[in-house]
Amino acid sequence: MSFDQDEGPIEGPLILQRPRGLEAPLLIEIPHAGLELPSELAASRALGRSARMADADLYVDELYEGATELGATVLIARYSRHVVDLNRAEDDVDPSIVPEHPSPRGRLARGVIWKTSIDGLRLLDRPLRFEEYRERIARFHRPYHRQLRAELDRLRERFGFVILLAAHSMPSHGRSVSGAALVRRADIVPGTRGRTSADSRIIDHIDAFFRAAGYSIRHDDPYRGGYSTAHYGRPAEGFHAVQIELNRGLYVDERSFERLDPGFERLRGDLRALIDSLVGLRL
């Protein structure tokens, strides 16, 4: 750790929080906890609050509160992933969503711009014009990743390495391999793209921490790590990325969207302990 002067939160489409005193080579990004909509989309019936809450990583920002006190830097997106999904590449767009896009790379309904919610609700009244798509990318996607890249570069330059925790949550249940039944997912799913996005010592440390705390773990299943993990995780260059998916059944009522205690407080305390252990990790 090193001493650093707090520069205060940086806001806009994102909130950047730097530690006030001791700083560590740890950055926590929270891209999917936001619920806000830009003013031009606020009246859209397709983007109702309940649908946004169902698809948000609810309360993940609150679960990681206090991380800056331990030396971590935290980056939080304010806007809903129904506006732009920050865990996708900017060209990950289905041509049916942006027909004028010159080189769309996606073929899914939930790329960087979502066509439908996870529950199948339509989120777009019509396909987007290319200019509308480009404006969303310029206003929300690029500023977030520009800031994320800058913070990673700053911390790697200062410490010689940096750990990125991509903080997410997931529905408590998902389809089995056969697709015939819903099965409960593990409590914690660390995603590292087949153990390629971070040094094995970091991956093993995170796995061992959660197991010792009594949580069930399934590595890379069903989430291997999205755009941030794949794009920024380059261990040979000192950039280590691990996506952490928390089972929502541990801390939130998935019907009412209310926090569940004591599960919430237990998980928040355990995440604080994880952060405390990571800021002291040396490679």
| Model confidence pLDDT, tens digit, residues 125-181 | 899 999 999 999 999 999 999 999 999 999 999 999 999 999 999 999 987 655 667
Please count the other Cβ atoms lying within 10 Å of the Cβ belonging to residue 66. Answer: 16
How many CB atoms lie under 10 A from the CB of residue 194? 10
pLDDT at residue 8 greater than cutoff 50: no
N-term to C-term CA, the chain:
13
pLDDT of residue 5: 32
What are the tokens at 213?
A: 């705390």
**Which region among 33-37, 38-42, 238-242, 268-272 has the lowest average model confidence (pLDDT)?**
38-42
Q: How far is 134 from 146, CA to CA, in rounded Å?
A: 16
Write the class of the CATH domain 2-87+137-279: alpha beta
**What pLDDT is attached to residue 180?**
65
Residue pointed to by tokens 């009412």:
256
**Of 186, 185, 203, which Cα lies nearest the Cα of 194?**
203
Question: Where would I find the H helices in 196-244?
Answer: 200-212, 227-232
Give me the pLDDT at residue 253, please.
97
Burial code of 33-52, b = ≥16 C-beta within 10 A, e = fewer?
A: bbeebeeeeeeeeebeeebb
- Residue carrying structure tokens 């996005």: 197
pLDDT averaged over every residue in the chain = 92
Evaluate if residue 281 carries a pLDDT over 80.
yes
**Segment 215-236, tens digit of pLDDT:** 999 999 999 999 999 999 999 9
pLDDT value for 163: 99
Residues contacting 155, CB < 8 A, separation 6+ = 23, 25, 26, 27, 73, 162
Cα–Cα distance, 49 to 250 (Å, whole number): 22
pLDDT at 44: 74
Burial of 212 (0-12, 13-18, 19+ CB in 10 A): exposed
Residue 7 scores a pLDDT above 50: no
Confidence bin at 201 (pLDDT 50/70/90) = very high
Let me know: does 37 contact 91? Beta carbons within 8 Å. no
Confidence of residue 62 (pLDDT cuts 50, 70, 90): very high
Question: Residue 6 above 60 pLDDT?
Answer: no
How high is the pLDDT of residue 12? 74
What are the residue ranges spanned by the domains of the chain?
Answer: 2-87+137-279
User: Which residue is listed with tokens 């939130």?
Assistant: 252
Strand stretches in the chain, DSSP E:
2-3, 14-17, 22-23, 26-30, 73-77, 162-170, 173-175, 182-184, 188-191, 239-247
